[in-house]
Structure 1
Amino acid sequence: MMDTPLDYLYSFGPAADPLVKLGWGLITISLLVTAIIAILLLVAIFSRRQKARPDAEGHLPITRDSGGMMLIYIGVGISTVVLFASAVWTIFTLAAVASPARAPTLTIDITAHQWWWEVRYQNDKPALIFTTANEIHIPTGEPVRINLATVDVIHSFWVPQLAGKMDVIPGQHNSTWIQADKAGDYFGQCAEYCGVQHAHMAFHVIAQTPDEFASWNRQQLAAVGAPQSETLQQGQNVFMTRCSVCHAVRGTIAGGNLGPDLTHVASRGTIAAGLLVNNTDNAAAWIDDAQALKPGSSMPSLHLSPQELTDVVAYLGSLK
């Protein structure tokens, strides 16, 4: 939402508001402590002390501290009070963001993979469940429950302007919640080092008005239609031959689950977990030589013929 993608000094939802206030408070305390220490250090450096004079035998007299220990006692006492107050503030903040004020009406299961995010919208009716990837749409003003899991290593789910970090741990299911009070595009990132492409494991939270979200939800549930041209038909054939083992497209026989579900992929703003803007040129580059763009990812470099590449890119571009 802000110009700086991972700007955690501003918040746009109740799950992040207390965290931002705590952050500003701790920053202020840290700056004050730094300033006080700097001032005391300068005073100590530039203050002149009276030189002790040796006695008749040439020995320097032993003098007692003139109030220095009292300053230490005062400093330690103030530090203890400030640290204790910060700890109490932190505990109350954690309690405030532990759960939303009202029960969430929407539940999203998010599974972390090296290096992308699987997003599954739950519903009491199985026919209304669908899966997408790397882009999380939510309605504004509503708390959303996020269930987290991973299929490989430890990851961490973080949308700084909407919520704090929540680790995603193998063999354990953690839950958190997010809420956006303002429509917009909020940047998220894996916040736990998870391998060579950790920095390229991003996602976007798209907060929409309830009506816009309902419209998007209906679009995602719509079945993919049959190709409407010979080029699209050829592209679908290439996709089924080379891509369907790993990727799914609902409404077709493609049912792979090793990579992101590509149903309605053309409606997403980015591809490759936020690495590239979703356009024709980037899609072609990614499909042709993914390893050159994101080395180590599970996406192989297909090196299709020019015609095959053109056809499959056109097909994927039609999946809106």
Structure 2
Amino acid sequence: MSGWPPPVLDPHGPFSNTVTTLAWGLIALMTLIFIGVCAAMWVALYGSDGLRAKLGGERVVKWFGLIIPAGVLLLLLAWGLTLAAGMTTVKGDELRMRVSGNIYWWRVSYLDAAGKEMLADANELHIPVGRPVVVDMVSEDVIHSFWVPKLGGKMDMIPGRTNQLKLQADKAGVYGGQCAEFCGGAHALMGFVVVAHEPADWQRWLDSRLKPVTNTPLSVEALRGKQLFNEVGCAACHRVAGTQAQGLSGPDLTFVGSRRSLGAGILPNTRATLIGWIGDSQSIKPNNRMPAYRSLKADELNALAAYMESLK
């Protein structure tokens, strides 16, 4: 999320455009106030005795110290609430998703019209271009904050509460997101991506994900990796649809081979990074909840990585 313009000033959807409009309004007001304060300071330091007397008079203090600031703040509050009202208003025809914040990753669920989970994933959201998406946001441990600067506003995830935020992309692309509330030592390494597809492409993507999953390894190495996956205890924490692995304390790995990143948006998804993450994720993201598997041999790590690559 680097470069110029900053993501928050480079909207790619109607809801992020609302945030950008509000930001520019605040910047303009701040600039006017700064100029006014500088002018008052100049008068206080270099102005004539008459000007200084007027600047410190009771009427000036009353109007510019109380009445005008209070009026501006009230108008700004009303404008901001009116402008942002549509960012959380649910009409009923939006795509529904649920994102759960965890230390330090994101559980992603695609919901049907009744709010029931129809597809599980992690650390990656896929949405159609031009269609609003309502994200139900919850936390499974501490307070997190969900933020995709180019597509929407920022909303906290609070344990025991469900907040809602709307996203929409005006063009296809991959958009970076980040946890924006300090949640622990590896907070800065808790990212994710949102992939916006053209509507027809998104529907094909969704249909392919909803098909029955077999997850049969295509090579001897990947088959060995599948055996190791169960032997070393990975299945206790991770779910892989179509297998006996149904753990829920870690990210769903059913489609991990097709993800663009690993470790919640911080690593490219390659064989080398898979091996590094499986072998010692603690050296990459300290204090995450996945133990290091330093006792595994190189060929075993390679086999596990091959199995992960086959999960598409």
Equivalent residue, structure 1, for 2:221: 231
Secondary structure of the residue aligned to 2:224 is: helix
Matched residue type, 2:171: K
Equivalent residue, structure 1, for 2:241: 250
Question: Is this contact kept in 1: 2:239–2:245, CA < 8 A?
Answer: yes
Q: 1:156 to 1:127 in 2, by over 3 A?
A: closer
Identity across the alignment (%): 38
* Alpha-carbon distance between aligned partners in 1 of 2:155 and 2:177, rounded to the nearest angstrom: 12
Equivalent residue, structure 1, for 2:111: 122
* Alpha-carbon distance between aligned partners in 2 of 1:302 and 1:174, rounded to the nearest angstrom: 37
Deviation at 1:294, TM superposition (A): 0.9
Question: Is this contact kept in 2: 1:111–1:150, CA < 8 A?
Answer: yes
Deviation at 1:160, TM superposition (A): 2.0
Q: 1:2 to 1:208 in 2, by over 3 A?
A: farther
Deviation at 1:261, TM superposition (A): 0.6
Q: 1:74 to 1:105 in 2, by over 3 A?
A: closer
* Alpha-carbon distance between aligned partners in 1 of 2:268 and 2:245, rounded to the nearest angstrom: 24
* Counterpart among 292, 310, 318 of residue 283 in structure 2: 292
Equivalent residue, structure 2, for 1:319: 311
Please tell me whether Structure 1 or Structure 2 has the larger radius of gyration of its CA atoms: 1
More helix, by proportion: 2
Question: Is this contact kept in 2: 1:224–1:263, CA < 8 A?
Answer: no
Question: Is this contact kept in 2: 1:234–1:312, CA < 8 A?
Answer: yes
Matched residue type, 1:35: I
Matches of residues 135-284 of structure 1 in structure 2 within 5 Å? 135-222=124-211, 223-242=213-232, 243-284=234-275
Unmatched 5+ residue regions in structure 1?
51-63
Deviation at 1:23, TM superposition (A): 0.9
Deviation at 1:225, TM superposition (A): 3.4
Q: Does residue 20 of structure 1 match 2:17?
A: no
Secondary structure of the residue aligned to 1:108 is: strand
Q: 1:127 to 1:281 in 2, by over 3 A?
A: same
Matched residue type, 1:123: D
1:137-168 CA deviation, whole Å, 9 max, x = no partner? Answer: 00011111211221111111122222222221
Secondary structure of the residue aligned to 1:152 is: coil
Deviation at 1:97, TM superposition (A): 2.2
Matched residue type, 1:150: S
* Alpha-carbon distance between aligned partners in 1 of 2:116 and 2:23, rounded to the nearest angstrom: 43
* Alpha-carbon distance between aligned partners in 2 of 1:96 and 1:86, rounded to the nearest angstrom: 17
* Alpha-carbon distance between aligned partners in 1 of 2:55 and 2:157, rounded to the nearest angstrom: 53
Q: 1:278 to 1:6 in 2, by over 3 A?
A: farther
Matched residue type, 2:7: D
Equivalent residue, structure 1, for 2:32: 32
Question: Is this contact kept in 1: 2:109–2:117, CA < 8 A?
Answer: no
* Alpha-carbon distance between aligned partners in 1 of 2:143 and 2:55, rounded to the nearest angstrom: 53
Secondary structure of the residue aligned to 1:107 is: strand
Question: Is this contact kept in 1: 2:225–2:304, CA < 8 A?
Answer: yes
* Alpha-carbon distance between aligned partners in 1 of 2:149 and 2:46, rounded to the nearest angstrom: 44
Q: Which one is further off, 121-130 or 12-21?
A: 121-130
* Counterpart among 75, 86, 89 of residue 76 in structure 2: 86
Equivalent residue, structure 2, for 1:108: 97
Aligned residues: 306
Equivalent residue, structure 2, for 1:57: none
1:259-317 CA deviation, whole Å, 9 max, x = no partner? Answer: 10111111111111112111111111111111111110001111211110111111111
Deviation at 1:10, TM superposition (A): 2.5
Cα RMSD after superposing both structures: 2.5
Deviation at 1:224, TM superposition (A): 3.5
Deviation at 1:5, TM superposition (A): 9.8
